[in-house]
Amino acid sequence: MTGFVSQDKPQYRYYKSEPCRVIKAEQSLYDLVTVTNKNNPKWMAIRYGNRSWTFGELKELTDRLADALVKAGLKQSETVLVALNSGIESVLCLLAINKVGAVSKWVDVRASEEDYREYLVSNGCRFAFMFEPALPAVSGAFSMLEKVVTVSPVEMLSPWTRLAYYRKNPNTGIAELSAKKEVIGFRKFLLSGDPKSKIEQMPFDKSRPSVIVQSSGTTGKPKNIVHSDYSIVCSVRNMTYSDLPILPKESVLNNLPPWIAYSLGQGILWPLSCGASVLFEPEFAREDAVYKNIGKFTVSFGAPYHYRCVLDRFEKMPESKKQGIYKTRALISGGDKISPDENEIFDNVFRTPVINGYGSNECFGCLTANCTGHNRYGSVGIPKHGEVLISYDNEKECELPYGEVGEICACIDSEFLCYEGNEKETAIVKRVHKDGKTWIHTGDLGMIDEDGFVFLKGRIRRVIIRRGFKISAYTIEDAVTKLEEIKECIAVQVNDPDDGHAPMIFAVPAELGKFTDEELKRIIIEKCYKELKTYEVPKHIVIADALPYTDNKKYDFKKLEERGNEYVASLKE
């Protein structure tokens, strides 16, 4: 043992000696799913609502959609905006756009109209797949598009289900948009394609952009993160050495929205490439998503609050549901931390491991994950097979030994290509160290023990995590300080009984006494709902005469967090 994880690689004792499936890195995402499963076309691939599709049917539908895109004029290397909810349509878009050789750009359906305009302009998008319920709020952003394909929550379900949905939801926003641009429903657009057409695929190029996802905006405005087929397939391939039970014919519940890498990489591509089926939960924000689907899956991807919901209801659960949990092989968690005590309670009550992991969109989801056979409480686990994480001293520019806290840096196959149009920020995150290798700087502080398990210790950047969603404190502050009524504002994370954590702001009026506290809070909330995503809107607001500073004349964030938690605690009294 040298004392350094990059040389000792102690985590290798916890990998399987052979992957569950042999996956080559030099292939497209389309081939990753279709070619890997060519010998099992009748196995179940996707379940959604009251329908299911086999791998054979998934390939046929993907080929049909790819042909429809080519007939509509989509060219290789073009970018297609994809703003969808979870469902089979997300999988079809991911694979079909990839087969054509185009780039899929994944966007949060809850984005503002201004954000949509920026996303479309930055790539010169001519085509978009759009979640139908989100259209009324953003239809004005699509003036430069040639074709908008709309997707309803029941698009691929039975005729009776679709009829019932449209009777209940007649105002979809399509009529207004149709007057301006060519708009077509997903089902009709899909049927315009030929599943037997031979589309010429682009030669494999490990540096060619394939998928664009967004950062969580932890350093301010979200950045568009460009990935290649190579980086994504490597992320999946390296996961196959894990002892997590993503195996042929297993059933995997995906509780995640499709616009994050954790969902696309681990929740969709990893199971499908291994011959497992994916069960989609369309209402990804529901805290009871796991609870209501107990018995339908053997493995789940979600966030801690999903499993806390099950724990809260466990005593009153029917025996059948308890047996369903007991038979579950793993509950995989990301997006927020789980304390050691809580993790132990989960495992003891559920009789199945709750696996904590850690990752980023820059690394296409998972960087580390615990093992079912060695679930180390308090840790986020070990790196994927073939990848190295270190604790790094940025001042001395060197790796730190076991047990010492530094910035977590990763040397991985699944690194992103760049931030779209932002070379400066790319260079800050992707750096060449003295060893000549490129390392991803995560912005997270942590240490690594002598077994290779990573323990996070805090953040270099100011991030608020609410129900697994990462929120930049800067984003909230920027929105509030645009108000002429507000002089300065600081956003902090506070404990919250409903959300685990929630954003809270301390705001100083521009003119003391001009408005009452309640009037200022109303002005702030109205502004936040216009400028921010719903989950970014502060849950608590305090109007203060002044903000505390440290001796170095910097905002005292720690003191504000303490005040915030005291304030929230007082609300219960």
Residue 293, domain CATH: 3.40.50.12780
> Do 395 and 273 reside in the same domain of the chain?
yes
Classify residue 217: in a domain, yes or no.
Answer: no
pLDDT beyond 60 at 172: no
pLDDT digit string, tens, across residues 369-425: 999 999 999 999 999 999 999 999 998 999 999 999 999 999 999 999 999 989 999
pLDDT digit string, tens, across residues 136-152: 777 777 777 888 999 99
Classify residue 533: in a domain, yes or no.
Answer: yes
> Do 472 and 560 reside in the same domain of the chain?
yes
> Do 453 and 472 reside in the same domain of the chain?
no
Q: Which one, of 536, 540, 570, 423, lies nearest residue 111 by Cα?
A: 536
pLDDT at 526: 94
pLDDT at 165: 85
Residues 430 and 323: their CA atoms lie apart, in Å, by 46
pLDDT at 103: 97
> Do 274 and 143 reside in the same domain of the chain?
no
> Do 434 and 341 reside in the same domain of the chain?
yes
pLDDT beyond 60 at 176: no
- Beta strands 299-302; 251-254: pairing state: parallel
Classify residue 23: in a domain, yes or no.
Answer: no
Classify residue 146: in a domain, yes or no.
Answer: yes
Q: Average pLDDT of 19-43? A: 95
Classify residue 213: in a domain, yes or no.
Answer: no
> Do 418 and 447 reside in the same domain of the chain?
yes
pLDDT beyond 60 at 61: yes
Of 27-31, 46-50, 109-113, 476-480, minimum mean pLDDT range: 109-113
Q: Average pLDDT of 351-374? A: 94
Quote the number of domains for the chain: 3
- Assessment of whether the complete model's pTM goes beyond 0.75: yes
pLDDT beyond 80 at 549: no
> Do 514 and 416 reside in the same domain of the chain?
no
- Backbone angles phi and psi of 308, in degrees to 5: -65, -35
Domain boundary among 408, 435, 459: 459
> Do 405 and 485 reside in the same domain of the chain?
no
What's the CATH code of the domain at 55?
3.40.50.980
Domain boundary among 405, 427, 459: 459
Residues 452 and 408: their CA atoms lie apart, in Å, by 13
pLDDT at 128: 93
CA distances from 25 to 32, 206, 229 (A): 9, 9, 8
Q: Are 418 and 403 spatial neighbours (Cβ–Cβ below 8 Å)?
A: no
pLDDT beyond 80 at 317: yes
Q: Are 83 and 107 spatial neighbours (Cβ–Cβ below 8 Å)?
A: yes
Classify residue 344: in a domain, yes or no.
Answer: yes
Classify residue 485: in a domain, yes or no.
Answer: yes
> Do 471 and 388 reside in the same domain of the chain?
no
> Do 269 and 186 reside in the same domain of the chain?
no
In percent, the amount of the chain with pLDDT more than 70 equals 96
pLDDT digit string, tens, across residues 260-275: 999 999 999 999 999 9
Residues 211 and 101: their CA atoms lie apart, in Å, by 11
What's the CATH code of the domain at 567?
3.30.300.30
Q: Average pLDDT of 432-439? A: 96
> Do 454 and 480 reside in the same domain of the chain?
no
Q: Are 104 and 124 spatial neighbours (Cβ–Cβ below 8 Å)?
A: no
pLDDT at 169: 77
pLDDT beyond 60 at 352: yes
Classify residue 124: in a domain, yes or no.
Answer: yes
> Do 510 and 564 reside in the same domain of the chain?
yes
What pLDDT band is residue 249 in, cutting at 50, 70 and 90?
A: very high
pLDDT beyond 80 at 458: no
CA distances from 224 to 107, 118, 127, 260, 326 (A): 9, 11, 18, 11, 40
Per the structure, the complete domain to which residue 176 belongs is given by 41-203
pLDDT beyond 80 at 173: no
Q: Are 103 and 79 spatial neighbours (Cβ–Cβ below 8 Å)?
A: yes
- Mean pLDDT over the full length of the chain: 90
Q: Average pLDDT of 115-122? A: 82
Domain boundary among 184, 203, 222: 203
